[in-house]
């Protein structure tokens, strides 16, 4: 078994491309974890698709996985980006403001679908309407996070580091700036994704009539 450390942020397509490159090297995905992908050598070729599954509950996800299995499609649960922060199997979701207890929703925001390469193209959604509503679902999620971060950013900028938490003022200043840089990085990443999705949705809408 070969282990690869790999983190993809908001770029789901990049992850797809990478997985499909691995299969061309004769490797087949067998397991995923938060930061790693596990492969085994395989003679057969496969096709991979990564689906955004954050809107599905644990039960819905299990049902969907069973349905896919009947179609001959294997699936792996995968976390989005670095995975969520959770404590005792409870994860806080800033979008709904709820802590999620269901293990299915913790770090399985994505679903990797695997199909034997039979020479036919592999698409999850094949009607224009389905493609649009799928992309809109992702965009809504990104927009909610973007909004959350944009509200948090001024608070972060205005707040003076409070003494007492950590005594060194210099350390606090570094700490604050580091968080600021990460926040701006994520805001930009999300913005790029949102623009990309909007262009894709617009192109699809033009196809309709």
Using CB under 8 A, list all residues that contact other proteins.
51, 64, 67-68, 70-73, 113, 120, 122-127, 129-130, 133-134
Q: Which is nearer to other proteins, 26 or 72 (CB)?
A: 72
Q: Which residues contact 193 (CB under 8 A, 6 or more apart)?
A: 10, 11, 142
Separation between Cα atoms, residue 24 and residue 120, nearest integer Å? 16
CB of 178 to other proteins, least distance (A): 40
* 158-166, long-range: CB < 8 A, 24+ apart: none
User: Which of 114, 146 has the CB closer to other proteins?
Assistant: 114
Structure tokens at 68: 């896919």
CA–CA gap between residue 86 and residue 152 (Å, rounded): 20
Beta carbon of residue 122, minimum distance to other proteins (angstroms, whole number): 8
For tokens 């596990």, what's the residue? 38
CB 77 within 8 A of CB 110: yes
Q: Which helix (H) or strand (E) holds 69?
A: helix 58-70
Q: Which is nearer to other proteins, 133 or 199 (CB)?
A: 133
Nearest-approach distance from CB 143 to other proteins, in angstroms = 17
Residue with smaller CB distance to other proteins, 66 or 156: 66
Indicate the angle between helix axes 128-158 and 169-208, nearest 10 degrees. Answer: 160
Q: How far is the CB of 101 from other proteins (least distance, A)?
A: 25
Q: Which is nearer to other proteins, 55 or 99 (CB)?
A: 55
To the nearest whole angstrom, how small is the minimum distance from the Cβ of residue 129 to other proteins? 4
């Amino acid at each position: 078994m070969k282990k690869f450390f790999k983190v993809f942020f908001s770029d789901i397509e990049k992850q797809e491309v990478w997985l499909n490159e691995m299969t061309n090297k004769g490797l087949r995905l067998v397991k995923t974890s938060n930061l790693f992908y596990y492969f085994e050598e395989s003679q057969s070729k496969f096709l991979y698709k990564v689906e955004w599954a954050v809107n599905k509950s644990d039960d819905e996800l299990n049902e969907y996985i069973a349905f896919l299995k009947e179609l001959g499609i294997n699936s792996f649960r995968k976390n989005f980006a670095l995975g969520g922060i959770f404590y005792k199997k409870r994860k806080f979701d800033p979008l709904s403001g709820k802590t999620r207890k269901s293990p299915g929703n913790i770090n399985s925001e994505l679903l990797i679908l695997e199909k034997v390469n039979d020479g036919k193209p592999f698409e999850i959604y094949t009607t224009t309407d389905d493609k649009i509503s799928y992309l809109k679902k992702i965009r809504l999620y990104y927009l909610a996070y973007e909004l959350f971060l944009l509200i948090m950013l001024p608070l972060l900028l205005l707040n003076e580091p409070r003494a007492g938490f950590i005594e060194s003022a210099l350390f606090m200043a570094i700490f604050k700036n580091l968080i600021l840089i990460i926040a701006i990085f994520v805001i930009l990443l999300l913005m790029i994704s949102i623009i990309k999705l909007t262009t894709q949705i617009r192109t699809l809408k033009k196809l309709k009539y």
